[in-house]
Amino acid sequence: MTTDRLGQLDLDHLFHPSTDLKTHGQSGPLIWERGEGVHVYDTDGKQYLEGMAGLWCTALGYGEPELVEAAKKQMETFCYGPLFAGKANEPSIRLAAKLAEWVPIEGARFLFGCSGSDANDAQVKLIRYYFNAIGKPHKKKILSRENAYHGVTLASAALTGLPAFHKNFDLPGDDVIHLTAPYHYRHAEPGESEEAFSDRLAEELRAVIAREGAENIAAMIAEPLMAAGGVIPPPAGYFEKIQPILRENDILMIDDEVVCGFGRTGNDFGCQTWDIQPATMTMAKALSSAYQPISAVAVPPFMYEAIAEASGEMGLFAHGLTYAGHPVAAAVALRNLELMEERGVMVHAAKMGERLQAGLERVREHPLVGDVRGESLIAGVELVADRETHERFAPEKKIAFKAASACLEEGLIVRALPGDTIAVCPPLIIDEGQVDELVEKLVRGLDRVIAP
Ligand SMILES: Cc1ncc(COP(=O)(O)O)c(C=O)c1O
């Protein structure tokens, strides 16, 4: 079918998620046709360097034959079977066992889902179930942060700390408290060091706990590095200072590794990069390199045992999705993790991450750029009207969207985030030449925006 015809059918019939629907009605879609390695191609045959790994997820790149084969083989052997009522399938069992080798939670069990959002929804339900089961029914509230992104289902959208994901949706939300984002570039006082800023955020946490009562707060959810909220790495000392406060108050740390997990920040998980000791973890995206929709919640033994005991009394743990532990998704995720191990992808990604961060130092001097930040193979470039005062561009200028569009013209996919940060997050298999090409194209894209 021609691009024009597809475009018309899109305009007539598709409802695009996370899109300015009004503008889309005028501009129409950019339609992808195929992908190979770190490149994708549109329906007119133009090649793009995928600088965002899709949505922070295609870790092993596009067209990986081993993952295609894993899916095909599993579909032929056994295409579907639920995990309900104690039934199982081999890929889910083996994936859970493989994840137990990867995650830093001793004795963890894995509850599978289909997306990061449903997994974070499950986190909220599990935490509530757990505290009810151990006789602390008042522990309900969950601490999150402004700028956090944890998904879009009712509960996970309430955890998300970005206004557009709340406005007009009438979310249930008085059980979620958003703390100040650990966003040093925007929220530090003039001259305040990262350590001093982290101290101030730790004081805020103490004050919120004192106000709400520790007996009412169940958990805090955090991405090790905040991705969709602006690519915000934690300031120095942040997790070191807040974790003891959480522990003192019996507040569980939910570690949202949906973006940071599986090599993105230079280690297997973001919690290892920033020395976080999670109670539970949420994983998705790179878990299958996005070849199949699958997510997982890592549940520690102390929670599992209490939940199991309570479910025994009721005769059922009454939560589960039809496609949880889908054998095809699990088989692909398992092969994905094996390939990461066999090919040393974590070590390669860490090396490429160093090259990316070093290369982006060039961008720091660009007249549009206020801040460059990130860790390893994830980076954010914040665009500002005034580099001295950090003053933002007027929102109607849509400067980040213009920059992302200019990069597209250059054949590079990046993402414009709220707050005018351009995000970069390429597949982990990117090579040295491609990292350099990414930086070069990004600079050319930014130059286009200021060109007379
Ligand atoms: C940190 C984080 N958590 C959760 C989610 C939600 O995942 P999904 O879009 O698969 O529902 C995302 C999605 O980008 C994410 O970045």
Specify the pLDDT at position 86.
95
Specify the pLDDT at position 124.
97
Specify the pLDDT at position 172.
83
The two tokens of residue 281 are: 């973890």
Give the distance (Å) from ligand 1 centre to CA of residue 426.
17
Same fold yes or no, 31-63+344-450 and 67-342: no
Say yes or no: CB of residue 420 within 6 Å of ligand 1.
no
* Residue 209 contacts residue 250 (beta carbons within 8 Å): no
The two tokens of residue 241 are: 């200072």
Give the distance (Å) from ligand 1 centre to CA of residue 295.
10
The two tokens of residue 2 are: 């021609």
Rounded to the nearest 5°, which phi and psi values hold at 35? -145, 155
Task: Check if CATH label 3.30.420.40 holds for domain 31-63+344-450.
Answer: no
The two tokens of residue 91 are: 């890929």
The two tokens of residue 352 are: 């490429």
Give the distance (Å) from ligand 1 centre to CA of residue 300.
21
CA distances to 113, 114, 279 from 105, rounded to whole Å, are: 19, 22, 7
* Residue 115 contacts residue 125 (beta carbons within 8 Å): no
Specify the pLDDT at position 174.
79
Specify the pLDDT at position 229.
98
Query: Ligand 1: which of 147, 258, 289 to mutate, judged by most atoms within 8 Å of the beta carbon?
Result: 258
Per-residue pLDDT of the chain (452 residues; tens, 9 = 90+): 999 999 999 999 999 999 999 989 888 899 999 999 999 999 999 999 999 999 999 999 999 999 999 999 999 999 999 999 999 999 999 999 999 999 999 999 999 999 999 999 999 999 999 999 999 999 999 999 999 999 999 999 999 999 999 999 999 867 999 999 999 999 999 999 999 999 999 999 999 999 999 999 999 999 999 999 999 999 999 999 999 999 999 999 999 999 999 999 999 999 999 999 999 999 999 999 999 999 999 999 999 999 999 999 989 999 999 999 999 999 999 999 999 999 999 999 999 999 999 999 999 999 999 999 999 999 999 999 999 999 999 999 999 999 999 999 999 999 999 999 999 999 999 999 999 999 999 999 999 999 87
Query: Ligand 1: which of 117, 153, 287 to mutate, judged by most atoms within 8 Å of the beta carbon?
Result: 117
Q: Which atom of ligand 1 is nearest to the CA of 120?
A: 4
The two tokens of residue 142 are: 């969950």
Rounded distance, CA 204 to CA 196, Å? 13
The two tokens of residue 82 are: 């639920």
* Residue 109 contacts residue 305 (beta carbons within 8 Å): no
Rounded distance, CA 111 to CA 96, Å? 9
The two tokens of residue 147 are: 């700028």
Among residues 361, 360, 373, 422, the alpha carbon closest in space to that of 393 is found at 422
Give the distance (Å) from ligand 1 centre to CA of residue 261.
12
Give the number of C-alpha atoms closer than 13 A to the C-alpha of residue 317, restricted to the C-beta side: 22
Helices (H), 47-142: 53-56, 65-77, 90-102, 116-133
Q: Which atom of ligand 1 is nearest to the CA of 115?
A: 10
Say yes or no: CB of residue 165 within 6 Å of ligand 1.
no
* Residue 290 contacts residue 57 (beta carbons within 8 Å): yes
Specify the pLDDT at position 27.
86
3-state secondary structure of 140: coil
Residue extents of the structural domains in the chain = 31-63+344-450, 67-342
Residue with tokens 């995206």: 285
Give the distance (Å) from ligand 1 centre to CA of residue 224.
13
3-state secondary structure of 143: strand
Give the distance (Å) from ligand 1 centre to CA of residue 152.
8
Q: In angstroms, how far is CA 80 from the centroid of its own chain?
A: 27
Rounded distance, CA 195 to CA 183, Å? 12
Q: In angstroms, how far is CA 152 from the centroid of its own chain?
A: 12
User: Quick count: other Cβ atoms within 10 Å of Cβ 173?
Assistant: 15
Question: How buried is residue 348: exposed, middle or buried, by Cβ count under 10 Å (0-12/13-18/19+)?
Answer: middle
Say yes or no: CB of residue 120 within 6 Å of ligand 1.
yes
Q: Strands, E, within 300-437: which ranges?
A: 369-375, 378-383, 412-413, 415-417, 421-424
Q: In angstroms, how far is CA 173 from the centroid of its own chain?
A: 21
Give the distance (Å) from ligand 1 centre to CA of residue 31.
23
Rounded distance, CA 317 to CA 327, Å? 21
Give the distance (Å) from ligand 1 centre to CA of residue 55.
9
User: Quick count: other Cβ atoms within 10 Å of Cβ 114?
Assistant: 18
Q: What is the CATH number of domain 67-342?
A: 3.40.640.10
Among residues 294, 44, 256, the alpha carbon closest in space to that of 156 is found at 256
User: Quick count: other Cβ atoms within 10 Å of Cβ 316?
Assistant: 11
Say yes or no: CB of residue 227 within 6 Å of ligand 1.
yes
